[in-house]
Structure 1
Amino acid sequence: MSERHHVWPALIYDDLAPTIGYVNRVVQVAGKYTLDAPFEVGWGNIVLDVTPRGLRTPTFWQPGATFSVHYRLLDGDVVIEADTGSRTVSLAKGSVASFYEAFCDAAAELGIHRPRTTLICEIPGSAPTFQDDHVEHTWDPQAARLMWEAWSLASRGLEAWQAPFLGNHPRVGVMWGGFDLSATRHSAKPAEPSPHRPPFQQNGELDAYVAVGFAFGDASAPSAGMYAYIWPQPDGLENRSWGVDGAAWHPDAGLVLLPWDKLGETADPLQAIVAFGDAVYAAAVDLAGWPSDLVGPRVDGWYMSQTPPEVVRAQHH
């Protein structure tokens, strides 16, 4: 499934923070279009795919236009690709406000309406809307490449972890609000949402789920790494083993955390992500009553194309 990456990228928050903050804001512009799409459990419809060049939205349909938006972090631009044509908007220099206007002008040329809201979400201390954010940014291609490389590595491990799950699971992708790379496994078991949270967060907690992901950290917790949690949170997490040296339960945060540098010290970081996710799901089975038989064989497509079903079943059970 994996090989040792030749150089594990160092993610120093202070070096990346300006670019993280800028990208987090501008991806919300196209991210707003996902709110027009049919809602999927746990907001699975809104995630941005990690591509060979950056982040891409799903395909959107509007009257008169079918389109997607590709934030090409390795190129320093954004491509709006539609059946009516394509347009490119630069990320090289400017503010969120100037990017928003340039994006909307380009989208209008393709017959695409503006997003229905301009609120900047889930970023403490941010300006309230895209039009209000006039802080000037200069594009840092090295920081953008490090961000993409981290997402690419983490996505590969998370997709390998997620693949054999037989229950409902949205595709692995970046949540454009909280800006974390997320892989979730959902249960049809109802849950009671946390009180006093915004409706979108409460509606994401209507059913039980297991979440494993990657985040760059923030000013209050600047360490990048993998995270995981079980909703609703069961008792007994403090005494668990989490599959990888350095992974630990942090009760104050309500998260199991695996620091990025500890992940890079393992012999096979991508396999370590799988082991981390498996340990979290095992905790959900042991402590929260999740089914133990919802994970199928973890093999590649070549194996499944050549192996009779009775052999696959026998090996799985």
Structure 2
Amino acid sequence: MATLHRSPTDNWLTLPVATWQDTYETLHLWTQIVGKIRLALTPKINHWWHSTLYVTPRGLTTSTIPYGSRNFQITFNFLLHQLVIETSDGTTRIIELAPQSVANFYQTVINTLKEISIDVRIWTMPQEVAAPIPFEQDEKHTAYDREYAQRFWQILVQTERILSRFRSGYAGKCSPVHFFWGSFDLAVTRFSGRRAPQHPGGVTNMADWVTREAYSHEVSSCGFWFGGGGQEALFYAYAYPEPEGFKDYPIQPQEASYSSDMREFILPYEAVRQANDPDTMVLTFLQTTYEAAANLAQWDRAALDYAPVLKS
């Protein structure tokens, strides 16, 4: 494998889409399998918050999933390259993360769960991907490069850290920092408290009623996406519904812009990597794009914005 160059601080790693496309596509589908298991067994929470994954010091996890009088969790460990299944009765099962087809990964996970008396059925059609292949039939996607898998996770660690810091400045309803396995991005969403007009839907391989539940209320949302379809990785921010004047609002930093195709503000990941102070650049982007949404839509910022109480 070719040498990959790191940024000066070693925190923001290079990961151009073309260098890891095959691993990207396989990991996307593996996370969908695990995410759909959580979705199938976890009590429903508004906006599909019961379906997402979370960043850990070693990878991604479902967090606790209830199952009868027991519970369990499934974790991708990208340091040891393992999928770890742990239950509340002390059982642990480990599946090696290595090059293998989506079909094999799916069957191994389902069979391993059955061995520890967890029976789950999921809809096996992938979501939000072009030309989806049912998991049990997918022999096309087989790549798993350890270096790229670790870089993917390490970028998530940095992004989760900053999104969590940004999340702390809000007293209104706000989502956790979620990894959405459908769109393969990390996001946090602030809510104004008002209901939104019905979303038009139209997301690739996603039922419109699913999207409408996600956007039932007015939001300002931001996050990080790993790229695809000719687009490199980027930070993004959008509002639903988008208020008049949103795309022309004077946001910062200067490297950010509004994408008419994506209908959101974007900040290229490479600009962040090359910045002298990446954290400040991203936080400035998140704050000014939130202000664009909240100010133009006349959110009650006096009630919603939050400054943590500090010790005197």
> Structure 1-normalised TM-score?
0.88
1:147-162 aligned within 5 A: 147-162=152-167
Match of 1:311 in 2: none
Query: 1:93 is paired with a residue of what secondary structure?
Result: coil
What are the superposed Cα offsets for residues 175-215 of structure 1, whole Å, 9 maximum, x if unpaired?
01111101111232111223354211111111101110000
1:231-242 aligned within 5 A: 231-242=240-251
Q: CA deviation at 1:119?
A: 2.2
- Going from structure 1 to structure 2, the CA distance change for 1:71 and 1:28 (only over 3 Å counts) comes to same
1:256 to 2:265 alignment: yes
Match of 2:68 in 1: 63
Q: CA deviation at 1:252?
A: 2.1
Match of 1:287, as an amino acid? L
Match of 1:21 in 2: 25
Match of 1:41 in 2: 46
Q: CA deviation at 1:225?
A: 1.1
User: Retained in 2: the 8 A contact 1:157–1:271?
Assistant: no
Runs of 4+, deviation exceeding 4 Å: none
How far apart are the structure 2 equivalents of 1:40 and 1:21? 28
1:76-155 aligned within 5 A: 76-84=81-89, 85-127=91-133, 129-135=134-140, 137-155=142-160
Query: 1:47 is paired with a residue of what secondary structure?
Result: coil
Q: Which runs of 5+ in 2 are unaligned?
A: 1-7
Match of 2:24, as an amino acid? I
Q: Which moved more, 1:86-95 or 1:114-123?
A: 114-123
Q: Which moved more, 1:64-73 or 1:130-139?
A: 130-139
Match of 2:307 in 1: 297
How far apart are the structure 2 equivalents of 1:64 and 1:70? 21
- Going from structure 1 to structure 2, the CA distance change for 1:267 and 1:206 (only over 3 Å counts) comes to same
Match of 2:294 in 1: 285
How far apart are the structure 2 equivalents of 1:108 and 1:64? 16
How far apart are the structure 2 equivalents of 1:281 and 1:138? 38
User: Retained in 1: the 8 A contact 2:27–2:144?
Assistant: no
Query: 1:80 is paired with a residue of what secondary structure?
Result: strand
What are the superposed Cα offsets for residues 241-299 of structure 1, whole Å, 9 maximum, x if unpaired?
2222311111221010000011123222122222111101111222111121212115x
How far apart are the structure 2 equivalents of 1:297 and 1:195? 35
How far apart are the structure 1 equivalents of 2:74 and 2:121? 13
User: Retained in 2: the 8 A contact 1:80–1:86?
Assistant: yes
Match of 1:277, as an amino acid? L
Match of 2:15 in 1: 11
User: Retained in 2: the 8 A contact 1:76–1:139?
Assistant: no
Match of 1:168 in 2: 173
Match of 1:120, as an amino acid? P
How far apart are the structure 1 equivalents of 2:156 and 2:129? 20
1:209-228 aligned within 5 A: 209-219=219-229, 221-228=230-237
Match of 1:265 in 2: 274
- Going from structure 1 to structure 2, the CA distance change for 1:99 and 1:243 (only over 3 Å counts) comes to same
Match of 2:36 in 1: 32
- Going from structure 1 to structure 2, the CA distance change for 1:210 and 1:203 (only over 3 Å counts) comes to same
* Same amino acid, percent of matched pairs: 27
Q: CA deviation at 1:141?
A: 0.8
Q: CA deviation at 1:64?
A: 4.4
How far apart are the structure 2 equivalents of 1:162 and 1:118? 33
Match of 2:32, as an amino acid? Q
How far apart are the structure 2 equivalents of 1:139 and 1:255? 31
- Going from structure 1 to structure 2, the CA distance change for 1:218 and 1:190 (only over 3 Å counts) comes to same
How far apart are the structure 2 equivalents of 1:154 and 1:166? 21
Match of 1:213, as an amino acid? G
How far apart are the structure 1 equivalents of 2:217 and 2:11? 40
Q: CA deviation at 1:59?
A: 0.5
Q: Which moved more, 1:28-37 or 1:275-284?
A: 28-37
Query: 1:137 is paired with a residue of what secondary structure?
Result: coil
How far apart are the structure 2 equivalents of 1:231 and 1:215? 18
Q: CA deviation at 1:24?
A: 0.9
CA RMSD of aligned residues (A): 1.8
Q: 2:216 aligns with which of 206, 213, 221?
A: 206
